[in-house]
């Protein structure tokens, strides 16, 4: 390329010879000016256009912003010369993102190249689709890519790229790909003679089958047949042998797919699969010749063991594998130890008896001190899975001992697992309380609120536990160092049950008060507010110390924190009333908590990073996998006559019952739930954005509505801060439970919630959640709120919030001369962005003015000589970047039903973002 374009070679040499940034910038600006001039002239051939676009790409790779040349790159794609088309596609994939307006212009060119009989052009187009991968492109071209994949005329390397392109599109936009409709054609591709094509198609089927199990059930027998040919019959080309292991990547994927399904009833298929697994186990006895051979062999072996465990934990292969795993976890190789521990955790999660695994308990405990943190994590997972009543005390004690020296990245997960194990396998009240309090004391800041919430719930619901808990927590409060979470537990338990220990030595009312008040000054405002409530309960329980407590209320009436001030004032008023009736009513003993599923395991599962391939088992023993097994059995029973391939059992259903089995907590409270499909981060519920557009220029309205729930939004903004309230209305005839909301934060925008939303919405009732918003710098994306609730089944929603850049603008009034002076001062490109576009709805000037006002522009009268034109001005407020002036001119053409929109601001990115917000609304909305 460089030999054919001397100008490009010389330009690159000039840049490399620049010793300082200033000289490089000068040379870049000179070249940009020259290229811009050449493009404006328009009389350039394909070679010159290619050369100039290459220079722009080189500048872009160096980190310089490129704001022109995009159309020239698009034009290069239409060229019939490979060299020009290649540069055009390279430029498009580098310079354009998936939401760029210009990507619409290349869709037809890409489709044309997909239809060509030139496989090189096919591959260039597939690369572009996979790299850009926007929703609009996926919707327009997925059928063309699928046609290339299944066409018998397509070359093997085109089919490979087509399969991987569809995989990329499915992972980004799963609702766009008709996975069920394509299932039979894709399964048929497993019979391709080229194993490279089979490998790529298998990757695609793995992703599609996870969400559409029944639709892809037909691949099971084909996969077993292909495995038998590769492993047993050795029917493969020598090109696919990797260090004496035949195509290990395909073997691993095949073995993984089979784990998504229960075994077939076909005796021949079961026999072939058993033979495959037995052959893999025998091949593993070969001594590896080198590291690569060892890695490939182990990859296949461990996946085969996982499949054997999945099929039958009592089989001879699994018994043989259990012996091998015991040897693997003591291996000198880190990778082997890691895989051995992970596979043994799978075995512990499925097997009926843990005795073969308990033989290696000492070795597994030693893995917590391995030099590699990933091995330590797998050791922790295995201990969590193999724990039962007989070894719970030993494992929990060892985990507590290791907790104080564990890596900080591991401590939060360890705390959750220790709390779950303690709760699940406790046989004595005292042991449970002692371990949990010791855990909170040791872990400190790594203890989440869920842990101490659960302690309070269990103590409140068990009368036999209350006196011991009060006595123990009082002892911890007297220690010189006491973590704030312990203070919270102590405040709640003593406030409710302090009277049970008031007559024992060291537990008098005044001693309880001093124990808590000694920690009061070191606590956060939230904890102080909670302890204020404890002191009010002390006034009711122990009238003899009323004077000391009233003085505390009196002292905190004038603090800066509004919550503390309000509580102290109200509690002081209640405490000093002549009658104690209101005090006794307010301080009535808390009723037992309703039995509910503990949130600890759900929180634990959220700690594990999501991967492209779903887990086929849960960490946590056989109890944690009961629901998954039930789903598999149901699928096995229904698969012969099932027609609804969308009714996929979800692999993430959480039904673990975290209860003290020997205590008096009901262990049957939680019912199994079927979760709706998980919505990937950064994406929203399909169809949910139909209400979003109008909310960008209004302050209230419907954000989302379906048969279960209605979400209404109200908002107000002042400068760089704002408040937003969401109102959730239950439309069903049953209570909505387990209601939670989580905000996906975006750069430069801070969103906080003063308090979490209620977890239950009664029938035909409404709850509210308030958000505080602060804009630090200009934002380019809108945040997403993820909503989860149970209404018959688990529902997940992801809704984009209409918190856009224009919400933080304030309109300003300018006279005509002042407006034009600022207009000229800002200047044109790059600070000016202009768009010309058609209106898809009739233009009504009054409605347009209302919309622009809603976008927080101050409309200026008598500035533009054309009365139909709109001129507006505003100031964007941000906390860190200060203020940005924004000027806007909109010229409607009533005859052509079109607009010309021009925006200038002192920040070029702000101009671009404002145009991107205004254009679709002006073109599509009717106010």
Q: Report the binding-site residues.
A: 6-7, 38, 47, 51-55
CA angle 216, 219, 222 (to 5 degrees): 170
CA–CA distance, 439 with 401 (Å, rounded to integer): 10
Q: What DSSP string runs through 679-723? A: PPTT---TTGGGTHHHHTSSSEEEEEE-SSEEEEEEEEEETTEEE
Report the SS3 class of residue 63: coil
Of 261, 282, 264, 260, nearest to 273 by C-alpha is 264
SS3 553: helix
Query: CB within 8 A of 126, min separation 6: which ones?
Result: 114, 145, 148, 158, 161, 162, 165
Q: Both tokens of residue 829?
A: 């490109």
- Please give the Cα distance from 97 to 133 (Å, whole number): 9
DSSP label at residue 390: T
Which of 418, 496, 426 lies closest to 456 in space, CA to CA?
A: 496
Q: How far apart are CA 134 and CA 141, in angstroms?
A: 11
CA angle 598, 710, 693 (to 5 degrees): 120
* Residue of 635, 633, 676 lying closest to 654 (CA atoms): 676
Q: Which two tokens stand for residue 84?
A: 């020009």
Which tokens hold the place of 418?
């220790």
CB 325 within 8 A of CB 344: yes
Rounded to an integer, what distance in angstroms lies between the CA atom of residue 828 and that of residue 862?
23
Q: Which of 326, 347, 348 has its CA nearest to residue 337?
A: 326
Count of alpha carbons within 13 Å of 233, Cβ hemisphere only? 11
Contact 886, 873 (CB under 8 A): yes
Strand-pairing partners, residue 883, are 877
CB atoms within 10 A of CB 325: 23
**How many Å apart are CA 650 and CA 682, to the nearest integer?**
21
d(CA 865, CA 861): 10
Whole-number Å distance between alpha carbons of 796 and 899: 39
How far is the C-alpha of 526 from the C-alpha of 533, rounded, in Å? 11
Q: Of 751, 761, 763, give the one whose Cα is nearest residue 802.
A: 751
Q: What are phi and psi of 682, to 5 degrees?
A: 90, -10
Phi, psi of 894 (to 5 degrees): -65, -30
């Amino acid at each position: 390329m460089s030999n054919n374009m001397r100008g490009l070679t010389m330009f690159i040499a000039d840049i490399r010879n620049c010793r300082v940034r200033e000289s490089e910038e000068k040379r870049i600006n000179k070249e940009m000016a020259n290229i811009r001039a050449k493009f404006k002239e328009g009389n350039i051939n394909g070679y010159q256009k290619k050369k100039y676009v290459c220079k722009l790409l080189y500048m872009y790779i160096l980190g310089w912003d490129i704001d022109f040349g995009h159309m020239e790159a698009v034009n290069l794609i239409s060229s019939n010369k490979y060299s020009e088309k290649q540069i055009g596609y390279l430029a498009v994939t580098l310079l354009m993102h998936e939401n760029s307006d210009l990507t619409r212009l290349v869709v037809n060119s890409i489709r044309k190249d997909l239809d060509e009989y030139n496989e090189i052009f096919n591959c260039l187009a597939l690369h572009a689709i996979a790299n850009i991968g926007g929703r609009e492109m996926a919707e327009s071209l997925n059928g063309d890519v699928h046609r290339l994949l299944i066409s018998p005329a397509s070359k093997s390397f085109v089919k490979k790229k087509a399969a991987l392109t569809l995989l990329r599109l499915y992972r980004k936009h799963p609702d766009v790909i008709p996975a069920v409709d394509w299932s039979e054609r894709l399964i048929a591709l497993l019979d391709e003679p080229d194993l490279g094509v089979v490998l790529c198609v298998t990757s695609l089927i793995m992703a599609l089958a996870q969400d559409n199990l029944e639709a892809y059930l037909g691949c099971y027998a084909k996969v077993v047949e292909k495995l038998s040919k590769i492993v047993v019959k050795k029917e493969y080309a020598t090109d696919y042998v990797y260090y004496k292991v035949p195509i290990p990547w395909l073997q691993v994927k095949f073995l993984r797919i089979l784990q998504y399904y229960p075994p077939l009833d076909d005796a021949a298929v079961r026999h072939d699969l058993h033979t495959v697994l037995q052959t893999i186990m025998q091949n593993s006895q070969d001594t590896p010749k080198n590291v690569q051979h060892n890695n490939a062999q182990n990859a296949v072996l461990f996946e085969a063991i996982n499949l054997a465990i999945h099929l039958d934990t009592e089989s001879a292969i699994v018994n043989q594998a259990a012996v091998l795993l015991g040897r693997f976890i003591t291996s000198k190789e880190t990778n082997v130890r890691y895989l051995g521990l992970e596979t043994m955790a799978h075995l512990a999660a499925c097997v009926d008896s843990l005795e073969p695994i308990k033989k290696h308990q000492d070795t597994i405990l030693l893995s917590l001190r391995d030099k590699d943190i990933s091995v330590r994590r797998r050791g922790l997972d295995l201990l969590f899975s193999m724990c039962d009543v007989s070894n719970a005390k030993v494992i929990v004690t060892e985990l507590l001992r290791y907790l104080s020296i564990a890596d900080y990245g591991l401590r939060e997960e360890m705390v959750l697992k220790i709390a779950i194990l303690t709760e699940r396998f406790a046989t004595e009240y005292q042991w449970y309380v002692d371990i949990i309090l010791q855990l909170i004391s040791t872990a400190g800041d790594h203890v989440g609120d869920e842990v101490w919430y659960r302690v309070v719930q269990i103590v409140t619901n068990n009368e036999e536990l209350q006196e011991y808990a009060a006595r123990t927590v009082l002892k911890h409060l007297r220690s010189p160092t006491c973590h704030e979470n312990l203070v919270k537990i102590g405040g709640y338990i003593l406030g409710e049950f302090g009277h049970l220990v008031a007559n024992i030595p060291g537990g008098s009312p005044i001693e309880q008060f001093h124990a808590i008040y000694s920690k009061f000054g070191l606590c956060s405002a939230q904890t102080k507010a909670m302890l204020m409530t404890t002191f009010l309960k002390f006034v009711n329980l122990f009238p003899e110390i009323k004077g000391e407590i009233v003085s505390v209320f009196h002292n905190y009436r004038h603090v800066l924190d509004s919550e503390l001030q309000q509580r102290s004032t109200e509690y002081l008023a209640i405490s000093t009333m002549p009658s104690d009736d209101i005090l006794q009513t307010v301080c009535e003993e808390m009723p037992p908590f309703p039995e509910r599923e503990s949130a600890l395991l759900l929180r634990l599962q959220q700690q594990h990073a999501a991967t492209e391939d779903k887990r086929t088992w849960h960490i946590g023993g056989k109890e944690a996998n009961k629901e998954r097994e039930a789903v598999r059995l149901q699928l096995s029973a229904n698969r012969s006559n099932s027609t609804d391939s969308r009714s996929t059992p979800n692999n993430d259903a959480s039904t673990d019952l975290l209860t003290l089995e020997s205590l008096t907590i009901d262990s049957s409270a939680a019912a199994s739930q079927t979760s709706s499909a998980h919505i990937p981060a950064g994406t929203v519920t399909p169809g949910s954005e139909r209400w979003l557009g109008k909310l960008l220029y209004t302050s209230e309205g419907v954000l989302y509505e379906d048969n279960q729930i209605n979400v209404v939004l109200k908002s107000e903004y002042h400068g760089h801060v704002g408040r937003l309230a969401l109102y959730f209305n239950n439309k069903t005839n049953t209570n909505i439970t387990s209601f939670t909301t989580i905000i996906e934060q975006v750069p430069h925008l801070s969103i906080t919630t003063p308090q979490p939303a209620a977890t239950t919405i009664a029938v035909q009732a409404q709850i509210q959640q308030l958000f505080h918003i602060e804009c630090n710098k200009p934002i380019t994306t809108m945040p997403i709120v993820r909503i989860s609730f149970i209404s018959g089944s688990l529902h997940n929603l992801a809704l984009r919030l209409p918190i856009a850049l224009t919400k933080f603008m304030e309109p300003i009034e300018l006279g005509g001369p002042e407006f034009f002076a600022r207009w000229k001062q800002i200047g044109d490109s790059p600070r000016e962005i202009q768009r010309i576009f058609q209106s898809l709805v009739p233009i009504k000037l009054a409605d347009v003015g209302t919309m622009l006002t809603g976008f927080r522009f101050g409309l200026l009268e008598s500035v533009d000589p054309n009365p139909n034109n709109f001129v507006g001005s505003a100031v964007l407020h941000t906390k860190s970047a200060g203020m940005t002036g924004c000027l806007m001119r909109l010229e409607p053409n009533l005859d052509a039903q079109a607009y010309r929109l021009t925006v200038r601001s002192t920040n070029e990115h702000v101009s671009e973002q404002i145009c991107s917000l205004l254009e679709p609304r002006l073109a599509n909305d009717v106010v």
